[in-house]
Structure 1
């Protein structure tokens, strides 16, 4: 077999060549945009090593080459600071014909990127096993003051001895060093870049954890979470779009959702992530729901809530906490329904006194246009910088598509077609439209909400409006949570409650379980909207034992939900 030299890389004719007087090339095992990797023999110590040599980039200026060489030397220095079995070991840095070479541990392996080619997927338990190796490596790196900044499937080695090894610290950043990028330039792989990086903000450990979440998403779903046709569209989706539905994540779904939250401060810590992954691997999905996003279980407490907030929980006005076994059409309900406006304290807290709703919308359009422009600038930089990097061991990464041009404002949301087996419901009173399964029937209508139940009357989807909205949907949820604890003092358990964004608006997601009179239930609530305008809430409750069956209904209602004025 003959492999031609491209960009200064070694070809198979170099087999047997001696590098730096001690490393004899044996077999080419990988090639990426940054360098070529060989398995070689260390003739001094008599061991196999991996040797990565930077490509010659003749199109770059002297300054750009100097920066590139320094980035590769930084990879060696960054990785050398980390001593951990899940991080590739760097032994030496040498020169060959003026080009830097990194001498590192040889790990007989395939990459996770190779394993996931052609949309292949892993079971949640196997993905959790790999995730445990990755989070162990990241914890060690962060403890050493090193950010990886390019966590992705192609940089995860799956060793033949079942070890998981994180590699390619070529764009890592250490405390006290410059970023080695020009203003507005990003390095890394677009599909795995955290939202704060898309917005031009300084990355932190939470950015690596977001990339871990994106990697886990691809492992179980077969695709990166926000991938679009172009790098520009992908970057904008990462910065603004809600996470789409997951069909195969199973017990990993709550953790992935928590890691992919837009706000880095709202993501679980590395320690919480590790605990959640361990529980998935051990087959304890209840525990992982509690750990994801918060790291601790919220213990139920007894007590009373006075005033209008407490009153909103009981009675026919909201239907919360009444009945025997599920939200039946007769008015009996075992699962707390979506909160109504009275849960907001009765006075429309957080009124906007500085201007009209139209002015709020105008400011929102300006913010979205500014974000789109920022994303355009940073992706343009990434188109230059990001193409220099690929996997250490020949992995399987792909080049990002060229950015699109022309538009400078956020595209309007267009809901997907109504799914097969669903029909579109339009409620003029609430000013909303959303898809509902064909065999679900209307259960309740009030001035503030509408509910539909499945044929068994045990699962319910509720859409409601709070007008005007309070300061943030999460504050609304905290009020309702206090009431829920009163109604279910011994069985309520919070799985997560966190801030997020939905279609560019402030949002919150709340998920919890509780024991009904005949069975355990689980519920999820999404609320979004700006203070002083309207808050829209989408709520699903269903038997916990059938959650995987009913959760897709929530996803389809959420994705197809629109406001009609």
Structure 2
């Protein structure tokens, strides 16, 4: 903490509530910091979570936050189960006025919990490591047992994720950090509009701003199991906004290493809560996987038609006709929830105008920049291992990895392939450009579905901006003759001028290796008008 003179003072050794002596910081999250502490009354080790300072909140909001934290921690303390961390106490940390946190007498709630000296599931999954389906199912059994106990007590966890799963001695699995848990009749949003929890494990209904229920915790369990077997969250994206959008509307990417656990994970990650199995059904399916059953049969969901959009198909680069876009799916899958999702995503990120990590911004920029002069742009230096190529017929230049060779040139596009001839960079020009690049992509997608009727799967297609111009991003997978491929396409340009397309495709199994090539080509891409 900071003393009045501004220098940093360690909290180690501080005595909280006249009883708990802080000894070592063992974790830090979005809501607070977790310490190992000594209980000087009962002479035992405990874990103590202190809320972070919240200088952006008004005094009234701060009082409301603290009171909600105390109430929800006490609710979590009602849960008595070996797979649930024990909540011992809720106390206040009273600070001096000189600490810089507020007026003397203010007290931040601290949640005192059982101390379990064990690694987390997140520790085991670091650097993309995975766990076999059978072992993942054993961990899942402990998690779902904890959730059943919590839900029976009327408590939702709201932050189920690998970092909150402790893997203790003798195979004990402990679900921890109920500090942001809530009773089942509480709202998912705070008064200030802040959504609590970790974005990659938030269920679609929470992203859309709907009231969560037990099925929301089960979705997070599914996301955790997906990461355990695949090495990454199911809807990992470059930014929090893109991840939230993908959770709300994008189809689930197929599992590659799910084994017998795959049907359960897919069911748990259904968009509609009513399509997910119950906790009891989940536990039964997990037990079947642990016992060695190779195929797990799940009960038919209660509702149909509002889950993930069914896989679409194909890849073809022709412009196609500029007719109506193809159908958007079945039943209740309509465009209105997408708009709702985007509005809530803006709340999660904290602003409606958000700069993406891939040098594109959201569509509000497109509307604001329409008709504006294209800003000048200085490309990134040519990266090591790349060389600059100039395609004068297209009026562009861009970096290409060393060893990649031109494969095909036409008046509208040029293709470079890697030495295996399985990965390619394709640069295309549409002159004149249509109404928006996303309309162009929709036309191409219609052809792609025809060319690959059973294997095309859209991962995302959305409006954005690139260097101040209207743009669209499209990602998808498709099956070639011998292997699965993944592709990403960026199109940008104003109506009536030129549209430029930057496209990369590569084997899906090596996508993490090839994906950075797209970023480097995009960042170094220059047009004759730049």
- TM-score of Structure 1 vs Structure 2, range by shorter chain: 0.5 to 0.7
Q: Partner of 2:25 in structure 1?
A: 28
The secondary structure found in structure 2 opposite 1:58 is coil
Aligned-pair CA distance for 1:220: 0.9
- The residue number in structure 1 matching 2:45 is 48
The answer to whether the 8 Å contact 2:199/2:240 transfers is yes
Three-state SS of the structure 1 residue aligned to 2:190 is coil
Match of residue 290 from structure 1: 297
Counterpart contact for 2:201–2:224, Cα < 8 Å: yes
Q: Work out whether 1:127 is the aligned partner of 2:93.
A: no
> Which residue number corresponds to residue 471 of structure 1?
none
Root-mean-square deviation (CA), in Å? 4.4
Whether 2:80 is the aligned partner of 1:83: answer yes
Tell me what 1:311 maps to: none
TM-score (norm 1): 0.55
CA deviation profile, 1:213-241 (whole Å, cap 9, x unmatched): 11101111111111111122111211222
Q: Deviations over 1:277-324 (max 9, x none)?
A: 1121222123xx2137669xxxxxxxxxxxxxxxxxxxxxxxxxxxxx
Alignment of 1:90-129 (within 5 A): 90-97=87-94, 98-129=107-138
Q: State the shift of 1:183 in Å.
A: 7.8
2:380 paired with 1:383: no
Find the residue that maps to 2:339 and give its secondary structure: helix
Alpha-carbon distance between aligned partners in 2 of 1:189 and 1:274, rounded to the nearest angstrom: 24
Equivalent residue number for residue 233 of structure 2: 224
Pair 1:463–1:13, CA change in 2 (3 A): closer
Once the two structures are TM-superposed, the CA of residue 362 in structure 1 deviates from its matched residue by: 9.6
Q: CA deviation at 1:193?
A: 1.1
- Give 5+ residue unaligned stretches, structure 1: 296-356, 386-399, 411-416, 435-449, 451-461, 465-500, 505-550, 561-565
Cα gap change, 1:103 to 1:556, in 2 (>3 Å): same
TM-fit CA distance, 1:421: 7.4
1:185, 1:378 within 8 Å by CA — same for their partners in 2?
A: no
Question: Match of 2:122, SS?
Answer: helix
The 2-side partners of 1:380 and 1:369 are apart by 17
Give the structure 2 partner of residue 247 of structure 1: 256
Distance in 2, Cα, partners of 1:32 & 1:5? 20
2 CA distance for matches of 1:272 and 1:420? 47
The equivalent of 1:17 in structure 2 is 14
CA deviations over 1:5-52 (Å, ceiling 9, x no partner): 699xx9884433332222222222222232222212222222211111
Tell me if 1:268 matches 2:234. Answer: no
Residues 72, 183 of structure 2: 8 Å contact kept:
no
Distance 1:431 1:13 in 2: 60
Q: Which residue of 2 aligns with 1:396?
A: none
Distance in 2 of aligned mates of 1:215 and 1:158: 14
Q: For residues 122-170 of structure 1, what are the alpha-carbon distances to aligned partners after superposition, in whole Å with 9 as ceiling and x for unaligned? A: 1112211111111001111111111111111111112234311111223
Partner of 1:406: 362
Distance 1:555 1:197 in 2: 36
Are the structure 2 counterparts of residues 197 and 557 from structure 1 closer, same or farther at C-alpha, using a change threshold of 3 Å?
A: same
CA distance in 1, matches of 2:271, 2:253: 13
Instruction: Give 1:372 deviation, angstroms.
Output: 3.7
Number of aligned residue pairs: give it: 362
Q: Is the 8 A contact 1:244 1:555 kept in 2?
A: no
Which has the bigger relative contact order, CA under 8 A and spacing at least 6?
A: 1
CA contact (8 A) 1:232 1:404 kept: no
